[in-house]
Amino acid sequence: MSLQRWLVDVLTRALHRRRATLPPDSVGASRRGGQDRRGHPGSGLGDRRAFLRGAAAVPALAALSRHAQATPPIRRRHWGMAIDLDRCAACNACSVACRQENNVPSYGADPSFHGARPEWMSMLWQESPRPEGLPTLLPLPCMHCADPPCVKVCPVGATYKDPDGITMQIWDRCIGCRYCMVACPYSRRSFNWSEPVWTASEQQMLNPDVATRPGGVVEKCTFCHHRIRALSEQARLDGRELRDEEVQRLPACASACPANAITFGDLDDPRSKVSELAASPRAFRLLEHLGTEPSVYYLNKERG
């Protein structure tokens, strides 16, 4: 039985039950919409109006039901990243793009912020142990661990795990205790020591999709969650699943990399590009012995 037919039957039965509770004299009056022999107004006209109002709502309810059935359910994912160190040229484009996309404040050459500037994507420089070897350069975003120590120590729940595996931060809830910074073994959190000041020209360049953070709070990489959310909502409206090829360069760091060294995607999808790279014999994760289960994989260099 269709939803529309079922609703009509329910309304009809309700109208019959209503009439069955009326005195016999009022039934005739209700059909006339006048008064019964005792002078009480008939209620049939009101019942008919209520029935017609309910019947008019049936097509709208049926359309909502069809839309709900046509909309695919939300499939949870495990977002992750693979960074090929053999491709990385240390151009720092990922860091610049991340800073611009996420409204990360810049304090210029102010010496008071030396070593304490907020950074969501850093370049970790490590010299080669061989005299003729090239230095190792690691683009370093947040690892978005499956078992993040930072989430466990936050006393106010300002940082939490998203259902899709992203470690998120609620700026307005942060009290600036910096417990999460101490707990993070990768030092991937930054503290705003002062209120960011934006010039008039800088305000015109701020990304409206990302909230600016006040002073006294901790901020971090979010895998450009606003881009993921926008694309997911569009795909849901289109009635389709996200395609792997449209998320591989979705974060700002990945889209800005000229060598395509950064690949983003769903680690739970064995057919995704990032899953293939994570299963490579060259793949490794930082500080795996800590049991944090990072979602960022690195592919070791094949050249000197």
Contacts (Cβ under 8 Å, ≥6 apart) of 223: 79, 81, 141, 142, 144, 166, 251, 264
Q: Tell me the per-residue pLDDT of 45-65, one tens digit each, with 9 for 90 and over.
A: 555 666 556 556 556 555 555
Question: Residue 36: is its pLDDT beyond 60?
Answer: no
Q: What is the mean pLDDT of the chain?
A: 82
Q: Which pTM was predicted?
A: 0.73
Q: Tell me the per-residue pLDDT of 111-129, one tens digit each, with 9 for 90 and over.
A: 666 666 788 999 888 777 7
What local confidence, expressed as pLDDT, does residue 27 receive? 46
Residue type, 193: W
Q: Show the domains of the chain with their CATH numbers.
A: 3-70 (no CATH), 79-299 (3.30.70.20)
Measured between alpha carbons, how far is 102 from 208 in angstroms, rounded to an integer? 9
One-character DSSP codes across 214-228? -TT-EEE--SSHHHH
Question: Residue 32: is its pLDDT beyond 50?
Answer: no
